[in-house]
Amino acid sequence: MKTQITEMLGIEHPIVQGGMHYVGLAELAAAVSNAGGLGVITGLTQRTPELLAKEIARCREMTDKPFGVNLTFLPTVSSPDYPGYIKAIIEGGVKVVETAGNNPQKYLPALKEAGVKVIHKCTAVRHALKAEAIGCDAVSVDGFECGGHPGEDDVPNFILLPRAADVLKIPFLASGGMADGRSLVAALAMGADGINMGTRFIATQEAPVHANVKAAIVAASELDTRLVMRSLRNTERVLTNQAVERLLEKERTLGANLKFEDILPEVAGVYPKIMQDGTMDAGAWSCGMVAGLIHDVPTVKALIDRIMAEAHGIINERLARFSAA
Cα dihedral 122→229→70→179 (10° resolution): -70
pLDDT tens for 151-206 read: 999 999 999 999 999 999 999 999 999 999 999 999 999 999 999 999 999 999 99
Do 197 and 179 touch, CB atoms closer than 8 A? yes
CA distance 288 to 224: 9
- Residues in contact with 258: Cβ distance below 8 Å, sequence separation at least 6, in sequence order: 231, 232, 250, 251
Full-model pTM: 0.97
> What is the identity of the amino acid at 92?
G
pLDDT tens for 273-289 read: 999 999 999 999 999 99
Give the count of alpha carbons within 13 A of 96, CB side only: 28
pLDDT at site 325 = 59
pLDDT tens for 102-157 read: 999 999 999 999 999 999 999 999 999 999 999 999 999 999 999 999 999 999 99
